[in-house]
Chain A
């Protein structure tokens, strides 16, 4: 049942598609590297799960959406998805700093980025628990006949939660417009997915729920875009789809992870297939990008991130009166 959508590797989409993809991925990279630094300086506390290495998945998948009617939900490794949805870096960095100007007014932190306006419904901290919620958002879309679809991201660690299997079943029996994307970065915290999964081919499970299953190369933003684009079109017709994006995270599970469970060689092997370098080199081969264009992207994204840090640093702490605010509507 599983298949990889035709990518058309030799033909590239037009510049107006390619440049935003490259710039979004680079913005995520710059934001995450800065987040790591700021964590080291103790400006950011708690759990901080970086998205470095996986940029192509959120960027490519979200690029096919119409966020005036579509929705995105993800787990706690959510910085990349928030930026790909178009949230500004400054309130996100302020949220990491716990400031009042943060996207959740300092109440959520790294794991809980939300934007009602951009239709990002978290930033969810319990493994797999966002999967039923996302399915319910798709239920609302079907109920209202809005034409919208929902993208539900989760990691390979969530694959074994009952919440996923109950949701797959409900999505199928009610023909809900949802695409489930497992970002298989191969490590559920420190446990290899191969050790804990009875099924070595995740998308084969789609067949158990009579759903379509697709695989994409999570290190290739154009392939992600093609496959998820096909999945979203299918979902809009009321056919839920399960997509596996094979990817890799460069950093530990969170900032406090010493990564004793994997080898330096394994990480380096994936770094050689870096999604940003890969897209840039393909654009270079096609004569679509020069050194100056790239430098301009780097300048802009680093500028945005530096400005985000300045904004976060100079923003006020929430007053203690905020403690009881925003709990009930």
Chain B
């Protein structure tokens, strides 16, 4: 086992997959000479050259579309978006093209491409750089969407995404790049579509993905101090969604809190909460709770921006409600 940062784990995955398959190449703003805006591609230009590590102009619609075309013609592009906020400029290429080509061609074509970059709020970045946009991608049939929350999953899911024959959107996070964790030294893959049980417990299910795992694990520790054991489901893969693991947890606990840093309306979190409410109705001892980002554009002020995001405190509040316990 080696301890790697999330950033290093992504770098290792890219490096190994580029070494393994000459059709894999990386394209995006600052990925080459600058070593990546967040240093995820550090050293790859020197190792693989400018043919395979391509610095693009600031032209998200353009280079995202080029990636789709290159994938149709047989390559395996990894397109780095400096953030998912900027990917909104390329939404057309992902939604109308990458996700549709196989179906519109009656199964003749495939689009093996990875779109990846940081998603969700970091710190002091204000409204246009702090959005959690998972539901934009999760909404679209024809895409796969993953959100690794640990260095090991970042490594294993990115490798699986690159080898998958479909367009896969990878949600990373600026705050997570420096997170550390154990990553086995031997090569491994994490399959798309499988959740991770991050913590075992019998009293309530806390369900989340991506960066809020941190607040969720903090909340689980605080609950433990009160004698309450939380089962923590890290979804990891949003599309396809591992509904079985989700329901298995709720079957065990009968109580569920969903935590998602996105806005609450039509979000992945609201969808998951609906799925649990609908499919586990007879198993539930309380209505499902959703802890989301507040329904506002992100403010710059630090106290305000923290108040806009899920926190251990907010999760504890939701836990009180599903447990009908005012004393915790």
Contact = CB atoms under 8 A, between A and B. Distances in A.
A115 B104 CA distance: 11
Given A122-B101, A124-B97, A328-B142, A105 B65 contact: no
A129 B69 contact: no
B69 A136 contact: yes
A133 B72 contact: yes
A52 interface: no
Contacts of B69: 121, 132-140
Interface in A42-81: 71
A140 B74 contact: yes
B95 to A, nearest CB: 10
Given A326-B106, A326-B107, A129 B74 contact: no
A122 B96 CA distance: 13
A207 interface: no
Interface in B61-111: 61-75, 77, 92-93, 96-97, 101-111
A108 to B, nearest CB: 5
A109 to B, nearest CB: 9
B59 A166 contact: yes
B285 interface: no
Contact of A103 (B65, B103, B106): B106
A163 B73 contact: no
A79 to B, nearest CB: 15
Contact of B105 (A114, A133, A166): A114
A16 B180 CA distance: 69
Contacts of A277: none
B103 A327 contact: yes
A163 B66 CA distance: 10
Contact of B51 (A108, A132, A143): A143
B106 A107 contact: yes
B279 interface: no
Nearest to B69: A136
B320 to A, nearest CB: 41
A134 B73 CA distance: 10
Chain B interface residue count: which class? 35 or more
Interface stretch (A2-10, A167-175, A186-194): A167-175
B107 A136 contact: no
B103 A140 contact: no
A116 B109 contact: yes
B113 to A, nearest CB: 10
Contact of B65 (A102, A122, A135): A135
Given A136-B72, A136-B73, A170-B66, A116 B61 contact: no
B253 interface: no
A71 B73 contact: yes
Chain A interface residue count: which class? 35 or more
B106 A102 contact: yes
A163 B108 contact: no
B62 A114 contact: no
Nearest to B67: A136
Contact of A104 (B54, B70, B104, B111): B104
A126 interface: yes
Interface string A160-202: 0011001101100110000000000000000000000000000
B102 A170 contact: no
A145 to B, nearest CB: 10
A328 B104 contact: no
Contacts of A173: 57
Contact of B106 (A108, A166, A329): A108
B263 interface: no
A115 B108 contact: yes
Interface of B: 25, 51, 54, 56-57, 59, 61-75, 77, 92-93, 96-97, 101-112, 141-142, 144, 165-166
Interface of A: 71, 102-108, 112, 114-116, 121-126, 129, 131-141, 143-144, 162-163, 166-167, 169-170, 173-174, 325-329
6 contacts: A121-B72, A125-B96, A133-B93, A144-B75, A325-B107, A328-B166
